[in-house]
Homo-oligomer: A and B are copies of this chain.
Amino acid sequence: MFCCWSMISCLPEADRIWEGSVIVKGSVFIAASLDGFIARENGDIDWLTRFEGGGTGEDYGFKAFLDTVDVLVMGRHTFEKVVMFHPWPYGIKPVVVLGTSSVQVPETLSHVVTWKSGNPTDIVRELSEQGAKHLYIDGGKTIQGFLNAGLIQRMTITRIPVLLGRGIPLFGPTNRDVTLRCMDTRQYTNGLVQSTYEVI
């Protein structure tokens, strides 16, 4: 806990929530099948991992994005998936796992992973008060909850050229039309198409 969370607490107060206006920025950086799934129904991402760099070192801009992030916020299911990854993909970045009951965190990750429960607005307020300026929001339900609460400002979506037919959807019902501005699009040589959108 110490090194990462104390670092965040030292960020400038000016970027914290101020009179109900959330200054902290929420971003999504995620891959999805062409039909909008982020995993199969059982959580498998085999269809995705076959595009992982292929020894070229290509990370589709992930490290550059992660370098701008103060805290990752993800749902329990996403955490239970990524905790199986070796190596742990987020280094010493603080990670908040959301869930209504406490989450089993391996001892090796106890200095970076914290469990929290609460609605998106309260979570963002709390992290902002701790000094976080840029949150990386991950996982289908978590992204949907933060979007509906108006707490996502930017989304980078990398489309994988496959139709899965069923699975865990990236998006879900919204409480309004969410209009976006496409900032940038890039097609990789292996057919992945990455677009970055700002929520407007």
A161–B173 CB distance below 8 A = no
- The CA of A163 and the CA of B176, in the complex, are separated in Å by 8
A115 within 8 A of B: no
Q: Is the CB of B177 within 8 A of A162?
A: yes
Give which listed residue, B35, B163, B177, B184, contacts A163 with CB less than 8 A.
B177
A92 at the interface (CB under 8 A from B): no
Besides A34-B197, A163-B174, A165-B172, 17 other CB < 8 A contacts? A34-B171, A35-B36, A35-B170, A35-B174, A36-B36, A36-B171, A161-B181, A162-B178, A163-B171, A165-B171, A165-B177, A165-B178, A166-B173, A180-B191, A182-B191, A187-B195, A193-B195
Whether A182 touches B177, Cβ cut-off 8 Å, given contacts A147-B163, A171-B36, is no
A: which residues have CB within 8 A of B?
34-36, 47, 147, 157, 159, 161-166, 170-182, 184-185, 187, 191-193, 195, 197
Nearest CB in chain B to that of A172: its residue: B165
A161, A166, A173, A179 pick with most chain B CB within 10 angstroms: A161
List 11 A–B pairs whose Cβ atoms lie within 8 Å, in order of A's numbering: A34-B157, A35-B36, A161-B181, A162-B178, A163-B171, A165-B174, A165-B177, A166-B173, A182-B191, A185-B187, A193-B195
- A22 → chain B, closest Cβ, in Å? 19
